[in-house]
């Protein structure tokens, strides 16, 4: 399986600021996804990061709040904008070789907003 890294691994931020999370994979993959895991909760898909085009967002998530970039087949970023304490979560990226393939997850970014 692919080796996936995320930066930063954790951060503490002030409300009203923005944080950009990076996801890097060691091989080219077709699919990259961003998930949110709120404290003590399950994972919820934020969006599918599409290479060369705008991300596809799930219901309840909007581009202005969670802008996503995917400049190539090995890298993506998720920005959490204008943060509030409710944004405190673990943010995970996942990758898959294609739409039908198994997803593998990065180690996650633990975000605390004060």
Partner 1 sequence: GDSVTQMEGPVTLSEEAFLTINCTYTATGYPSLFWYVQYPGEGLQLLLKATKADDKGSNKGFEATYRKETTSFHLEKGSVQVSDSAVYFCALSKGSQGNLIFGKGTKLSVKP
| Among 19, 21, 25, 33, interactor with partner 1 by CB under 8 A | 33
- What radius of gyration, in Å, describes the C-alpha atoms of the chain? 13
Q: Is 57 in the site for partner 1 (CB under 8 A)?
A: no
- Nearest distance in Å: CB 48, partner 1: 7
Element (H, E) at 81: none
The two beta strands, 31-37 and 43-49, are antiparallel
Closest to partner 1 by CB, 12 or 16:
12
Residue 107 near partner 1 by CB under 8 A? yes
The tokens for 61 are 């998530």
């Amino acid at each position: 399986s692919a080796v996936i890294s995320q930066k930063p691994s954790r951060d503490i931020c002030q409300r009203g600021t923005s944080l950009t999370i990076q996801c890097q994979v060691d091989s080219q993959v077709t699919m990259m996804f961003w998930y949110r895991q709120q404290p003590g909760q399950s994972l919820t898909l934020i969006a599918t990061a599409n290479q060369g085009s705008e991300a596809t967002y799930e219901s309840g998530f909007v581009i202005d709040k969670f802008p996503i970039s995917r400049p190539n087949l090995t890298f993506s970023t998720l920005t959490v904008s204008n943060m509030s304490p409710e944004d405190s979560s673990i943010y995970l990226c996942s990758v898959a070789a294609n739409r039908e393939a198994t997803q593998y997850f990065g180690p996650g970014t633990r975000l605390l907003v004060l």
